[in-house]
Chain A
Amino acid sequence: MTFLQLNDLKVHFPTDDGLVKSVDGLSFQLERGKTLGIVGESGSGKSVTSLSILGLHKGGRAKISGEIWLDGEELVSASQEHVRSLRGKKMAMIFQDPLSAMHPYYTVGDQIIEAYRIHNDVSKKVAKKHAIDMLGRVGIPQPDRRVDSYPHEFSGGMRQRAMIAMALSCDPELLIADEPTTALDVTVQAQILDLMRDLQRDFNAALIIITHDLGVVAELSDDILVMYGGKCIEYGSADDIFERPEHPYTWGLLGSMPRLDREVTERLLPIKGSPPSLINVPSGCAFHPRCAFEPRTGGKGSTVVPDLVETEGGHLVRCHLSREERRDIWATEIKPKLES
């Protein structure tokens, strides 16, 4: 049985201006010990997906449909209390900005102890020892002293380490990291990515890493899911996405990014326009107003929503172009420009 499985997840928010379809029919699977990278620009629905898995949109204004199966349990229909009992224990989250995710009035240790004691019937003393252990595990120097520090006394990198310690304190089987290194400097980011890689190996957790940085995804992920306008537009192994990408949006992302490992190109190859508003997602393929290859779809781009179709061995693409056309465009028009 698959450890985590999403079937046609939809998260819609009714607002005064209309229905915001943040996530609109998302399905994927993830096994223990594997890492899934979810990539997309702001407003593509990647964070809403992660919050829905954790049940943090329950009871709010969100309209959620579809299924989320975690280790044999369905979470969309489960009660808030039940999901709450799983949160922290079975699944945990690492947030982007540790300063706003931690409570400024309590010491870092107290916050870890609280989470640990909710899920484990132990004394404060035992819990504190566990908190010190965890802080040591994530590489915080002198954990027995730092356990009594407040979040503001930590540097950005240390705070993110403390967040990871907190998330891992109950030994979760599913760990979701939402932009875990975006707020950090590049040398600290490298430390945190190393740490996450090592810890995942030790804990054998399923890891979902959400980011807009293709470099970070390439470092960590086994599989990659590219989101656009609330939908998955391409899914595949890391090699598929970086070596044989088939969706024009993925090409656009790769072309937008200057790379240190290649010769300097004359110009970047950006995507025209800007990401769509989720209140008013373009008709047909959501990407069609920005797509350079839309004319080749014979008018289907703006009228018909393309299906997510498998092209080869688990590599899924949502595009009107035929597989041959896509491969031809990638090999003759896109790849040479990226590598020139």
Chain B
Amino acid sequence: MTETILSVEGLEKHFPVTKGLFKSQVGAVKAVDGISFDVRKGETLGLVGESGCGKTTTGRLITRLIEPTGGKITFEGHDITHMKQGKLRPLRRDMQMIFQDPYSSLNPRHTVGAIVGAPFRIQGIETEQGTKKAVQDILELVGLNPEHYNRYPHEFSGGQRQRIGIARTLALKPKLIIADEPVSALDVSIQAQVVNLLEDLQNELDLTYVVIAHDLSVVRHISDRVAVMYLGKIVEVGERAGLYGSPMHPYTNALLSAVPIPDPKQREGRERIRLTGDVPSPLNPPPACRFHTRCWKAQEICKTQEPPLAELAPGHAVACHFPENAPSKTETPATVA
């Protein structure tokens, strides 16, 4: 087994809900509520889920843009859970983020050169032939014209802007990149360009990705392993082929069957699972298994006991009392408390 670059254990983020003049806490939004996973060196881990499931919060916790309320994050052997900003800064070189919206994540008053060169300045890094040369090399790497060094973000299209964002991310040759919805703001034809670019860069620069996205087909395309989140929990995690080929959690099944297939022939006769209702509020999530309110397999035990994330097949773990497609499938609870 390859080396683990990032390890997350029982990570929690509860945003307090306050009320009144003295801001007494009346509750908490459990955006991320105890998740654990490892990221191996060189792989791409996909994090999927619907809006409000906590996938973006997870990305921001890993990069320490927000402070976790519980759990532990280990990056390359360093415990960074509550590390001070000053000590964290050198580590930031190795861990960078790509943002969703290429319009709001670039400062409109800075030139491309200043944006992509900022990491060198902040980290105080001297390069052999100067920062300008280094920046132009990176621009070329992501498929932009190095002569655009002095242009401003508004002169570029959405796809090009996303490339500028990627160039900034790559400036300091990071090891781990967290990409939060890297292509969802882009047109279909541009999405494919950026997906291919991310894959090329990974091969060339030996990068590790955590890709956060809601588009299941994009995640399937670029990930080696995939984790599915629902209301702040990981409900299933596994190798791409296993997770998409024989999903075990009913929620994963429902998600996959909800994706429209671009083939009019499959319109009829395709077996669909339709979930009713909406995702419950993370302010007051259902007890025990959080999916039981929408699950067609739910029984009494689902309302009283939370299913642990258990490995039922090699490298394929699921948190469900009645998993589907499980080896030696039984209709009895898969785990005994």
Contacts and interface: CB of A to CB of B under 8 A. Distances in A.
Interface of A: 41-42, 155-158, 185-191, 193-194, 212-219, 221, 238-239, 242-243, 252-261, 264-265, 267-272, 274-275
B266 A261 contact: yes
B189 A41 contact: yes
A259 B188 contact: no
Contacts of A260: 216-217, 220, 244, 256, 259, 261
B154 to A, nearest CB: 13
5 contacts: A187-B50, A190-B272, A213-B260, A243-B265, A274-B157
A41 B254 contact: no
Interface residues of B, number: 44
A218 B261 contact: yes
Contacts of B196: 267-268, 270
A187 B217 contact: no
A243 to B, nearest CB: 8
Contacts of B265: 239, 242-243
Contact of B255 (A157, A187, A194, A267): A187
Interface stretch (B3-11, B13-21, B73-81, B274-282): B274-282
Contact of A268 (B160, B195, B244, B262): B195
Contacts of A188: 50, 278
A197 to B, nearest CB: 9
Contacts of A215: 259-262
B155 interface: no
Nearest to A154: B278
A198 to B, nearest CB: 12
Interface string B182-199: 000001111111011001
Given A185-B214, A191-B274, A274 B260 contact: no
Interface string B37-62: 00000000000001100000000000
Contacts of A274: 157-160, 187, 189-190
Given A190-B272, A218-B263, A275 B189 contact: yes
Contact of B188 (A41, A157, A193, A219): A41
Interface string B217-234: 110110000000000000
Q: Which of B160, B192, B254, B257 has the most CB of A within 10 A?
A: B192
A146 to B, nearest CB: 13
Nearest to B195: A268
A214 B254 CA distance: 20
A219 B260 contact: yes
B210 to A, nearest CB: 18
A254 B259 contact: no
A135 to B, nearest CB: 16
B244 A157 contact: no
